Copies of this chain bind each other. A is one copy, B any other.
């Protein structure tokens, strides 16, 4: 456990030791509640986190070999893309802001804040956290460069002209089906992280990572540092030999086995 996480354990109202069987899950939960108290996570984000917790519990709270394979392909896709971008919301910023910035650096991806429950204050608070972790440019804040994606009914339709709108590959950490479907229809490659392999997001994405975001990003950083040295042909072979539907189905079987 990292120092920051040990500190969070100490701050908890109901004392939890680092050896508690659910300490990791409780620390992650506490980070979300802290994010909520800091105004970057919304009530609906807390509920969404709970859903993820349940699926993660059924997965045994570890990265399966199928998830790792998807993470590897996701990195390949980002390294092969001309304009990859990482879309960030309140929950992901609360859980792993530093790692997201590192991933964006290693994969040369831009970062855009894109929220379902949108407010200027919240966007700014999320951008501040990312900048504190050394993000240089954070898109999605400037109203002048905003444009609209048709057919998305939520506030997620507002995207940056120079960000999500003109990207070729989008890493959507924690998603909703509506946006994913429309981005795929627009011809973009979509990578999503979703612990529920039965969700609409999981089904329509090009690469679906059925794993917890707090494990996904560190894994992807490690993978990216290795793969960035490889040539394009090598990366392309990995992407072309990947079958997303089959991979997701295997994750589903892991969950089934876990029950």
Interface residues of A (CB under 8 A from B): 13-15, 29, 32-33, 36-37, 43-44, 46-55, 57, 116-117, 153-154, 196, 198, 252, 255-256, 259
- Within the complex, the shortest CB–CB distance from A38 to chain B, in Å, comes to 12
- Within the complex, the shortest CB–CB distance from A179 to chain B, in Å, comes to 12
A50-B54, A259-B259 known, 6 other contacts, Cβ within 8 Å:
A13-B117, A29-B47, A32-B43, A33-B44, A33-B47, A46-B46
Hey, which chain B residues are within 8 Å of A54, CB to CB? 50-55, 196
- Within the complex, the shortest CB–CB distance from A22 to chain B, in Å, comes to 10
Copies of this chain held together in the complex? 2
Hey, which chain B residues are within 8 Å of A154, CB to CB? 14
Q: Report how far A69 CA is from B36 CA in the complex, Å.
A: 39
Q: Report how far A196 CA is from B36 CA in the complex, Å.
A: 25
Hey, which chain B residues are within 8 Å of A15, CB to CB? 153
Hey, which chain B residues are within 8 Å of A256, CB to CB? 256, 259
- Within the complex, the shortest CB–CB distance from A46 to chain B, in Å, comes to 4
Hey, which chain B residues are within 8 Å of A50, CB to CB? 46-54
Hey, which chain B residues are within 8 Å of A117, CB to CB? 13
Task: Check A43/B53 contact, CB under 8 A, given A14-B154, A153-B14.
Answer: no
- Within the complex, the shortest CB–CB distance from A218 to chain B, in Å, comes to 22
Hey, which chain B residues are within 8 Å of A13, CB to CB? 117
Hey, which chain B residues are within 8 Å of A49, CB to CB? 47, 50
- Within the complex, the shortest CB–CB distance from A106 to chain B, in Å, comes to 31
- Within the complex, the shortest CB–CB distance from A222 to chain B, in Å, comes to 28
Q: Report how far A233 CA is from B116 CA in the complex, Å.
A: 56
- Within the complex, the shortest CB–CB distance from A33 to chain B, in Å, comes to 5
